Structure 1
Amino acid sequence: MTSSPAPTNHIAHTLLARAHSPDTASQQFTERIKQKPLFLRPTSPSAADNRSRRRHQRLRKKEYFLKHQRPQPLSARKKRSSGLYDLPKEECKYAIFKGLHALWVGYMQEILDLKVSGRSGLVTPASHGAKLVSADYHGAEVEVVRSQCASRVGVKGIVVRDTKFTFVIVTEKDEVKSEL
């Protein structure tokens, strides 16, 4: 077998010659070192690679931000368009809201300290006014005693929706009324 003379100044050939016979060292140097492809990575990426890497990092950061962002509250227009405030006619029954009224009575007894202390004291604006103003009236049984519209006076029912200036109530006849 003829082999091309191996360069004697190569470090790999020198090391192989120390461990093997000269013919074996030359053969292994030719097959394993000289003919083996050497894969090199560029030492510095090109401008296009830098741009794509920065873009990829920016997109990952944006994705992380969007994933961990709290959802924005719905606007009033979106709430109205989604039907969030609509009450289905078949569910507006006075009997259904009697349970809500019982819960509301317990809530008010707790707010006004009537249930805890066991006292049946008088509730006055001076003693409990701030609590009454900030209380929730969903489930309260109300009666309209004074109104500019005479047809509304005397209407009784349970509050289904309490907004800033309006109570929506369900009467005993299962009618939904909006009272100012």
Structure 2
Amino acid sequence: MTPLRFDIRQAVLSDADALAEVHVLGWRQAYAGRMPQSLLDGLSVSDRVTSWQRILTSEAEPEAPWRSWLAEGDHGRVLGFISIGPSRDEDMPAHAELYAVYVLADAYGSGAGQALLDLASDFSRPTSLWVLDDNPRAHAFYRRNGFAFDGAEKIDEYDGVPIRELRMVRDEG
């Protein structure tokens, strides 16, 4: 099997459609059996396009404190993305936060997720993220990269089903 080749670059407004598709498909692949199927079925690429257009427009501002990058394979196919910015948690004001890290299932093991996460190492401050309690693949990936659970948790409700999320932190960039 030929190794999957990819390049990492900062996302721009013209990437909104591709990012929306990866975002929706990434959720469906990563969270099947972990989140209500009705939620996953109801995800809308067109809604995500609108969100990504807003996100990428704001990121284009020179002083924007958050950024998104993508892994782009052959023929410009987006394989995954990462978004990072200031922590949204009041008890973590000095931290960066990984808002999202998604790679399509057919790119698992390709190194694309690792290359995207390595971008977070460029930040000299501590970094945090929220991960589903029931997501051992993600837990292992983040642990391999120096993240550890810090005891914080939150419960979000999706379609009437409580979903537990745990915070992981890495003290150094």
TM-score by length of 2: 0.20
Relative contact order, CA 8 A, sep 6+: which one is greater? 2
Structure number with higher helix proportion: 1
Computing the radius of gyration from Cα coordinates, the structure with the larger value is 1
Point out the structure with the larger strand share.
2
